[in-house]
Amino acid sequence: MFTSRSFLGQILLSWSCLCICTGGNLLSQDNPTAAPKPVYGPPENIIYIPFEDFEDVFENEDASVVLPYSEYLELWALKAAADGADKKPVEAVITSASYVATIEEDIARIRAELTINVVGKPWVEVPLEFGDAAVGSVDNGDGDVLLRGTGDGTYSLLFKKQGEQTVSLELTARVVTSPDGRQIDFDVPPSAITNFELSVPADDQEVEVRPRLVQLPVEDGENETRVRASLGATKHIAAAWRPRATAQPEMQLLTSVNNRQAFRIADGLIHTDAWLTFDVLRGKLQQVKVSVPPTCRVLDVSASTKVQGWQTEESDDQQVLTIDLLSAVDDEVTVEIHTEQKLDGQTVELGGRSADGALHGVHALDVVRESGQIAISHGDDLTLRITEQAGVVRIEPNEVAKEIRQPGVLAFKYYNPELTLTAAVAEVEPRVTVTQNTSLTIGDDELDLLTELSYTIERAGLFELRIELPDGVIIDDVRSAQLKEYRADDNLLTVLLSERTLGSVEITIEGHLELDEETPELTLPVPEPLNLDRETGTVRLFADDSVEVATDEESLESARPAPAPPHLTRGGARLRAAWQYTNRPVVIPITMTRKPTRLSSSVATSIDVQPTRTRVTTLVDFNVEYAGQDTFRFTVPEEAVETLQIEAVALSPTSPTLKQQTPGDAADGWVPYTLVMQRDVLGQQRFRVTYDLEPGAVMIPMAVEDEIEVAPADADEVGKTNPEREPAVDEHSDSPAEKDVTDSAESPPANDGPEAEADATESEGSDDETRDTGDVDGATTASETEATVDVEEAVELEVDPHRQGLTVRIIRPLGLEADDTREATALTRVTGEVQIEKEQSLTITADASGADVEPIDVRELTTLPKSGAMAFRYRKHPEDETIEVDITQARYDVQEVIATVVSRRLVEVVLSENVSATFRCRYKLKSTERQRLRVELPEAIEVLSVLVDDTEVRLEPDPANATGDFWDTYYVKVAREGESDEPFQLAFQFLGKVNPAPFEGGFQGKVVLPLPRIGDSATAAVQQTRVVVWVPRGYALVGDPAGFTQLGTARPLRALFSGSLWSPPGEDLDQWIGDVGNLTMEFPTTGRTAYHYSHLGDAREMTVVWWNTLSYTLLVSAALAVIAFVLMPTSWENKLGILLLILFGGLLLGLKSEQVAIQAFATARIGLLLMLVLWCVRGVLGLGRRMSPESPVAEPEKNEITATVTPAVVPPANMSDHPESD
């Protein structure tokens, strides 16, 4: 800016000097030039238009302009004046003109007569232009017309008076002679009516006038040719004339012909296209005659000039085609002829005339010479071979005339139509190859056939394909992209194609062959395509496992075995064999043997133990192989009949439904059930059997003094179910089962929740000792006690108040018994699994017995879900054995579980210098609440945003609101798609108030910050809390709030330059709490210092202590500055002592609170720095004075009037005479 101003000043200074130097000269000039007068135009009107609307106003054609009416009249007058200035009035009009030209040798004398209507005031000027014609004289009769020359060939007529006047002009023009004749041309003035008359002194002249609109009749005189024409309005007239006939004598016509013929043999016809170019050597050609073979039919005739007509005339050995031209031709004309004839025989003669006079092509008549070319082509379904030729020469394709040039033609040229060209024509036989893939599937009563034929047709196309069918094959469907229709008659399948097809054709044939159960032998039906050059094929045989297929390889004809991958299937049938062949006939005999039905079963039993009942659900799967059956049987425990439900489970959309279920008579506690399906089943059939059982009481022996002895025989029975059971029970000790139940009821597991209960149950169920024991030691059900325990003395039994028990007998599948309609079908294998599930408040023990049942881990289950408390498995279940599961259950005491767990809580507070504060609270929690969640927030708040995950919701106030002062209760909708054990995130942002108001006067104070809480202490728990407080600059939070720990790193060295001592923790808050989405409102923290605090567990509020760092810094710095000035003259020992005393006080303060001590150091940093600087400067200056030479001491002035005697002062022994300089 300074540089630009200096430059501008220099320019102004230079301009001023220049004006001063030249001012005298300017004043001394004489006769100064007068200033030009300003030119005033029309007054300017200023229109103000907004810049943004500029284009909308001036680019819009429909825009309107508003102006005063007086201005509009002025504009209209100016417009009218401008239009009048451009138009000139019409003063004269040439209404008609007549020109009569007479030829005199090389000069044309033209008399022009113009009729002019003069309407203007004299003198009126009419311009004229005659070009190369010269004006000889002008005559109007009364002498009131003057002719004035204005330029080369241009004139003007000047009229003295008005009205219609006639002017006669004599013109002279030159006659131009050329090889085409003689002609004249000249310019004329345009008029509405123009007539022209020409007189040529010669007979029989052909006259042409341009322009000529209408020619008028006129009689010729003797030795004279006259022409009269009406030309209309024109500026130029030209006339040419020549004799109509030459003087030469008429001579005989002489022509030659260049003949180009194209023969195409296709579709049983011979198409001939001929182009004959007649070259007129002498005379004029008015009529053309052409000879055509008598067997040809003329299709069309055309020529390069207009044809008047054509006709044919039959002759003995030819047709004569006569073509009349519209006008005679004296140079060259081309005639185009198109004919066709049938193809007879295998030999054809193309073109020329044979020795016996037979004509075989199109040739010209009455010509002196004929030469030309012959091109031969044929259809794709024919072959052509030249067998004889004479008088022709084979030429290259590039020598062929363009009219007959085609790809692949045979071309010849000839110089005389007496030629011989014979060709042998034969139809092209198609070459057909096919690849056949035949798939045969053996069904219950028929053999399904699927044949895929891939034809390759070469050389010539085909319209139909024929296939021979084996005996007994019935065609179901034929598919192909080129198929039109198909017919199957007498073992012959005819496939008609939509058009002549050349290339690939894909055909799919579906059919079947009925089988006779009494005839196990069969020859595989393989369709045979006919009229082939080569065939390759593959035959595949599919059958299910119920059919055994055998083939005698010695009986095979033209077939050899091919690989048969067993994984290939078709409609549930497996590939059993495959063959390949390359020739016919193909014979593949097979022998079929059907297997009997094989039946196996698997049972999956799920036992759901509840406090009052037990639901038993059994999935009985029958696997039917080889042959289908519709009847199934199994036995059900008699105690389950009352609540029994049986249903058939559809494993596929085509699974049959249950038709009938019939129970049998009960025997030995079992009831047989017979189930009949709607149709035979082959494969897997599943039934679901469901019933309920009620648990019974568990009897335990009462405590007696004598030992209970078990008889040896009874002990063996007991050992079957519980080999480790003790024969006696100590009467003074509690049974282990009682201890187990008591402990489980009084001492809940350490881990809360259903997962802990499930773990405890699994541990109980998986315990080896429990698996081997049918019940807890010393306890048994009432039925077991009566059956297996026999004591010598009477033992009193009592009901165990803590436990219940029941026995579940597993359903046993049965085979089919023989009757009149079927044979017996035995079960080949029975396997099963047992899964026990329980209600969460129960503890159970279970033992399974019978067959080879064994306990397994629930993760080993294959049919049932891999869950539950216990699991068993067995691999066989004979009909004479029973598999039982004995279950004893006890109930847990109900323990309340906390519904909501807040794993992390983050509260951020932005404080201002008044009572208002901005809060942002974020929570990461799990809750069993699915609808709404209770929250407690400070009263009198303004809610800015509430988010559940990424969804914004609204707070619903609690009508009761019984939390007390300063707190309000709300509800938040927490409906979500996830499970209850999946964590979700909750966020609040609101404006609230803090009490007491922070930063109001004084040096320090306290602020109580409310911390919003989810739920209450009984229903919600908080694991970890973090609080971040932002305070304005000039204030600091000091110390650790009660129960909280300040996070971050103290950096005392930073206190020397700024008041911020604490570095925040490196962990990002968003990462710590997890991403809660984008909050709808901003959180202003600019210009504030953050303090981070951590707390384990829940906290309702947090009290922080604040310092006014500015006030404290001024106060402490002023105090330290005073101390520094006071101690400046003292020794360094005193100064260091003061510093050590300050340091000691800071250390004592740090023992109480490290944060307070560090903040105090930051507050006193300026005073301490000033103190050290002053003392150091003092020390450096004192050291300089001691190093300089001692200056004389001035004696004090004596008072002449009085003299004061000062007594001597004796210094102490430890003081020197001179004070020590600093």
Q: What is the pTM for the complete model shown?
A: 0.40
Distance (Å, rounded) from C-alpha 685 to C-alpha 1026? 61
Q: Which of 594, 614, 598 is nearest to 606 (CA)?
A: 614
Most confident of 732-741, 801-810, 1204-1213: 801-810
900-1107: CATH number: 2.60.40.1730
Q: How far apart are CA 272 and CA 270, in angstroms?
A: 6
Q: Smallest Cα–Cα separation from 1112: which of 999, 1004, 1000, 1032?
A: 1004
pLDDT digits (tens, 9 = 90+) for 664-713: 999 999 999 999 999 989 889 999 999 999 998 887 776 544 444 443 43
The answer to whether residue 245 scores a pLDDT higher than 70 is no
For 366-396, write each residue's pLDDT tens digit.
898 999 999 999 988 888 899 999 999 999 9
- Confidence (pLDDT) at 123: 84
- Using CB atoms within 10 Å of the CB of residue 775, give its burial: 0 to 12 exposed, 13 to 18 middle, 19+ buried: buried
Say if residues 49 and 57 touch (Cβ distance below 8 Å): yes
Tokens linked to 1178: 């003092």
Q: Closest Cα partner for 825 from 629, 677, 687?
A: 629
Cα–Cα dist 263/243, whole Å: 48
Virtual CA dihedral for 795, 797, 802, 808, nearest 10 degrees? 100
Residue type, 290: V
Distances (CA, A) of 585 to 466, 470, 525, 734, 1082: 17, 12, 11, 92, 90
- Which residues lie closer than 8 Å to 520 by C-beta, 6 or more apart? 591, 592, 593
Higher pLDDT, 945 or 894: 945
Q: What is the pLDDT of residue 43?
A: 56
In 3D, which of 275, 300, 244 has the Cα closest to residue 361?
275
Is residue 732 over pLDDT 70? Answer: no
Q: Which two tokens stand for residue 557?
A: 């004809």
Sequence-distant (6+) residues with CB within 8 A of 117 are 92, 93, 95, 163, 164, 165
pLDDT tens-digit readout, 153-206: 889 888 888 888 889 999 999 999 887 788 999 999 999 889 999 898 888 888
pLDDT at 1214: 46
CA dist 827 and 815 (Å) reads 5
**Domain 92-243 falls under CATH 3.60.10.10:** no
Torsion angle, alpha carbons of 666, 672, 678, 681, to 10 = -170
- Taking residues 1081-1109, report their average pLDDT: 84
pLDDT, greater one: 1135 or 602: 602
> pLDDT at residue 757 above 50?
no
Residue 794 clears pLDDT 60, i.e. is over it: no
d(CA 549, CA 518) in angstroms, rounded, equals 15
Distance CA 299, CA 272 (A): 10
Q: Is 1007 helix (H, G, I), strand (E, B) or coil?
A: strand
Token couple for 774: 């049918």
pLDDT band at 1062 (very low <50, low <70, confident <90, very high): low
For residue 1192, how far is the Cα from the chain centroid?
104
Higher per-residue pLDDT: 1061 or 353 = 353
Average pLDDT, the chain: 80
Average pLDDT over residues 742-748: 38
| Residue type present at position 1140 | L
Longest CA–CA span in the chain (Å) reads 190
| Band (1076; pLDDT cuts 50, 70, 90) | low
pLDDT of 784 reads 44
Output the DSSP codes for 890-943.
EEPPP----SEEEEEEEEEEEE-SSSEEEEEEEEEEEES-SSEEEEEEESS-EE
Average confidence (pLDDT) over 524-545: 93
The token pair that represents 614 in the structure block: 């037990």
pLDDT at 1167 over 90: no
The answer on pLDDT for 496 being more than 90 is yes
Q: What does the angle CA 395 – CA 398 – CA 399 come to, to the nearest 5 degrees?
A: 50
CB 1010 within 8 A of CB 1101: yes
Lookup result for tokens 């330290």: 1120
Q: Give the CATH fold of the 254-427 domain.
A: Immunoglobulin-like (2.60.40)
Judged on CB neighbours under 10 Å (0-12, 13-18, 19+), 91 is middle
- 3-state DSSP percent of the chain in helix, strand and coil, to 5: 15, 45, 35
User: Span 755-768, mean pLDDT?
Assistant: 40
Nearest CA among 182, 181, 178 for reference residue 108: 182
Weakest mean pLDDT among 209-223, 281-295, 662-676, 1049-1063: 1049-1063
Helix axes 1154-1163, 1132-1152, angle to 10 degrees: 140
The neighbour count for residue 123, using CB atoms within 10 Å, is 14
220: alpha, beta or left, given left = phi > 0 and alpha = psi -120 to 50?
beta
Under DSSP, the state recorded for 58 is H
Element at 22 (helix H, strand E): helix 2-28
With a cut of 90, say whether residue 772 has pLDDT above it.
no
The answer to whether 382 touches 400, Cβ cutoff 8 Å, is no
The pLDDT score that the predictor gives to residue 1147 is 76
Flag whether pLDDT at 478 surpasses 70.
yes
For range 75-90, the mean pLDDT: 71
Residue 27: pLDDT band (50, 70, 90) is: very low
Give every CB contact of residue 184 below 8 A, 6+ residues apart in sequence: 101, 103, 108, 173, 174, 175, 176, 238, 239
Q: Is it true that 254-427 and 431-594 share their CATH fold?
A: yes
| Per-range mean pLDDT, top range of 403-412, 731-740, 1165-1174 | 403-412
Q: Which residue has the higher pLDDT, 520 or 751?
A: 520
pLDDT bracket for residue 1084 (50, 70, 90): confident
Judged by DSSP in three states, 190 sits in: coil
b/e map 1028-1049, b = 16+ CB within 10 Å: bbbbeeebbbbbbbeebebbbe
**What is the secondary structure of 90-127 as a DSSP string?**
--EEEEEEEEEEEEETTEEEEEEEEEEEE-SSSSEEEE
Q: What is the mean pLDDT of residues 1074-1092?
A: 74
Q: Which of 697-701, 782-786, 798-802 has the lowest mean pLDDT?
A: 782-786
CATH number of 431-594: 2.60.40.1730
Q: Where are the domains of the chain?
A: 92-243, 254-427, 431-594, 900-1107, 1113-1183
Give the model's confidence band at 254: pLDDT under 50 very low, under 70 low, under 90 confident, else very high.
confident
Structure tokens at 415: 């110089």
Helix (H) or strand (E) holding 8: helix 2-28
Q: Give the distance from CA 53 to its chain's centroid.
A: 42
φ/ψ of 1209, rounded to 5, equals: -110, 120
Return the pLDDT at 531.
92
Rounded percentage of the chain residues whose pLDDT exceeds 70? 79
Residue that is written with structure tokens 């018994």 in the block: 817
Residues 1097, 1067: Cα–Cα separation, whole Å: 20
